[in-house]
Chain A
Amino acid sequence: ETGVTQSPTHLIKTRGQQVTLRCSSQSGHNTVSWYQQALGQGPQFIFQYYREEENGRGNFPPRFSGLQFPNYSSELNVNALELDDSALYLCASSGTSGSLNEQFFGPGTRLTVL
């Protein structure tokens, strides 16, 4: 069974640029959630995708957007990057078998905005 993978592992961007982060869900999972974790804080929920549709959103502005593909992999896009967007971005997948909504996390992408 393949776990959740994310790419890239690290990324450095400058303010105003755009970034795309990628996530492959665990085998058999159809739901992907994205989180932002600032240094010393708990992860903050950005949004969730279920069967290619956004299925819930946290308190993040519209410049944070996402996609889910037919194979259930997902992208997080952030436009007009700000310094405060520097964080660890975590992706989690969950499925319809076993414990519903149990989240399994990828290793994260560490984004630095200069």
Chain B
Amino acid sequence: GIQVEQSPPDLILQEGANSTLRCNFSDSVNNLQWFHQNPWGQLINLFYIPSGTKQNGRLSATTVATERYSLLYISSSQTTDSGVYFCAVTDDKIIFGKGTRLHILP
């Protein structure tokens, strides 16, 4: 089945810093989503982005389907950005990566 790898596994940044999270996948996929899981476990939709680039405020994402990767950019980090970021892809089932744990220091 498809393998999904996220990097880095952990990231600690000062408030105001920018970051780039990466998601690599091993085969063609139909869909790709980015989620933020808050400390209470709720998965919050960030982007539905099977290809192309999207922006939403301080967050943006780019998926290059032909090269099998997606990037999530967070600019001017805030402490509320802390949590785990997951990408999930779909072939015949939905597969999540192991996540990137982001900790923003005040």
Contacts and interface: CB of A to CB of B under 8 A. Distances in A.
Interface of A: 33, 35, 37, 41-45, 48, 56-58, 88, 90, 92, 99-105, 107-108, 110
Given A42-B96, A45-B95, A107-B42, 10 more contacts: A35-B94, A37-B41, A56-B92, A101-B30, A101-B31, A102-B45, A103-B88, A103-B94, A105-B43, A108-B42
B41 A58 contact: no
A99 B51 CA distance: 13
Nearest to A102: B48
A23 B29 CA distance: 27
Interface in B7-52: 30-31, 33, 35, 40-45, 48
Interface of B: 30-31, 33, 35, 40-45, 48, 86, 88, 90, 92-99
Contacts of A103: 33, 45, 88, 94
Contacts of B45: 102-105
Given A42-B97, A44-B96, A45-B93, A88 B33 contact: no
28 contacts: A35-B94, A37-B41, A42-B86, A42-B97, A42-B98, A42-B99, A43-B88, A45-B96, A48-B94, A57-B93, A58-B93, A88-B41, A90-B41, A92-B43, A99-B31, A100-B31, A101-B90, A102-B45, A103-B45, A103-B88, A103-B94, A104-B45, A105-B42, A105-B43, A107-B40, A107-B41, A107-B42, A110-B41
Contacts of B33: 102-103
Nearest to B44: A105
Contacts of B92: 56
Contacts of A58: 93
